């Protein structure tokens, strides 16, 4: 957004968060673009998902877009791409959420882009969002959650960690 602003290009940005307390970089965005903030719980500005805001901007405010860049959770990018495909807006997504080691060695960031296998860390991470198989990518990403979750709990709980629920205090 900063680059676009520096080159005289007016752009819109939509930041989505669960609640107002999780909105980040608001002031920085306001300096370089038209900012729309939406929260799932309605605690700040607009209520709803980023797709609701995008739909409002196009259908209620008459805005049109040459390009959409979606960065964030995969489920959000999936539904943004579904909407932008229907609206005929080319869309680029950043597949950073599926990258693990960043070297192409682990294969965790393998993603189907059209009929080609790509690796986000070495072939991307930006891809045509309308060609991404998000369901497959999210399924692959889920395989790593359990191990990452256990490692996070182990770190947070230190000596008290016993590999259980994470809430009982372990062997205290």
Q: What is the CATH number of the domain that holds 118?
A: 3.40.50.80
**Position 143 in a domain:** yes
What is the per-residue pLDDT across 128-144, written as a single tens digit (0 to 9) for each?
999 999 999 888 777 66
pLDDT band for 16, please (50, 70, 90 cuts): very high
Region of 49 on the Ramachandran plot (φ > 0 left; ψ -120 to 50 alpha; else beta): beta
**Position 169 in a domain:** no
Mean pLDDT of all residues in 36-62: 95
**Position 152 in a domain:** yes
What is the per-residue pLDDT across 87-118, written as a single tens digit (0 to 9) for each?
999 999 999 887 877 777 777 788 999 999 99
> DSSP secondary structure string, the chain?
-HHHHHTT---EEEEEESSGGG--SHHHHHHHSEEEEEETTS-SSEES-HHHHHHHHHHTS----S-EEE-S-HHHHHHHHHHHHHHT--EEEE-GGG-SSSSSSS-TTEEEETTEEEEHHHH-SEEEGGGB-HHHHHHHHHHHHHHHHHHHHHHHHGGG--SS-SSS-TT-
Domain encompassing residue 34: 2-160
How many domains are contained in the chain? Answer: 1
Q: Is residue 15 within 8 Å of 25, Cβ to Cβ?
A: yes
**Position 166 in a domain:** no
**Position 167 in a domain:** no
pLDDT of residue 33: 97
**Position 78 in a domain:** yes
**Position 165 in a domain:** no
């Amino acid at each position: 957004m900063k680059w676009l602003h520096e080159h005289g290009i007016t752009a819109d940005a939509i930041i989505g968060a669960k609640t107002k307390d999780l909105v980040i970089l608001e002031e920085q965005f306001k300096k370089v673009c038209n900012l729309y903030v939406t929260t799932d719980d309605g605690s700040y500005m607009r209520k709803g998902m980023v797709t609701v805001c995008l739909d409002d901007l196009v259908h209620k405010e008459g805005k049109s877009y040459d390009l959409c860049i979606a960065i964030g959770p995969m489920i959000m990018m999936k539904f943004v791409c579904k909407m932008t495909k229907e609206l005929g807006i080319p869309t680029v997504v950043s597949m950073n959420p599926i990258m693990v080691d960043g070297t192409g060695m682990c294969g965790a960031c393998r993603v189907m882009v059209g009929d080609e296998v790509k690796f986000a860390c070495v072939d991307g991470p930006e891809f045509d969002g309308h060609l991404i198989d998000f369901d497959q990518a999210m399924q692959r990403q889920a395989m790593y959650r359990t191990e990452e979750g256990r490692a996070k709990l182990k770190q947070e709980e230190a000596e008290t960690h016993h590999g259980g629920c994470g809430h009982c205090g372990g062997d205290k």
